[in-house]
C-alpha cells in the first residue's frame, strides 16, 4: 500500500511539473511574440 501511494504522489508531481512547464511555455511564447511585435513596431518607427 505504501509503495503505491508513493508512486501516485510521484506521478502527481510529474503531472504538476508538466502543467507548470506547459503554462510557462504558452505564456512565454505569448510574451515573446508580444515583445517581438512591440520591438518590431518600435524598430520600424525609429527607421521612419
Q: What is the pLDDT of residues 1-48, one digit of tens each?
A: 566 666 656 678 888 889 999 888 888 888 888 888 877 777 766 665
Q: How far apart are CA 7 and CA 32, in angstroms?
A: 37
Per-residue confidence (pLDDT) for residue 41, from 0 to 100: 74
**Per-domain residue ranges for the chain?**
1-48
Q: How far apart are CA 42 and CA 4, in angstroms?
A: 56
Q: How far apart are CA 4 and CA 48, in angstroms?
A: 65
- End-to-end Cα, the chain, rounded Å: 70
Q: How far apart are CA 9 and CA 41, in angstroms?
A: 47
Amino acid at each position: 500500500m505504501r509503495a503505491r501511494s508513493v508512486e501516485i504522489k510521484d506521478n502527481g508531481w510529474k503531472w504538476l511539473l508538466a502543467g507548470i512547464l506547459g503554462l510557462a511555455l504558452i505564456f512565454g511564447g505569448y510574451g515573446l511574440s508580444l515583445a517581438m511585435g512591440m520591438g518590431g513596431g518600435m524598430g520600424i518607427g525609429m527607421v521612419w
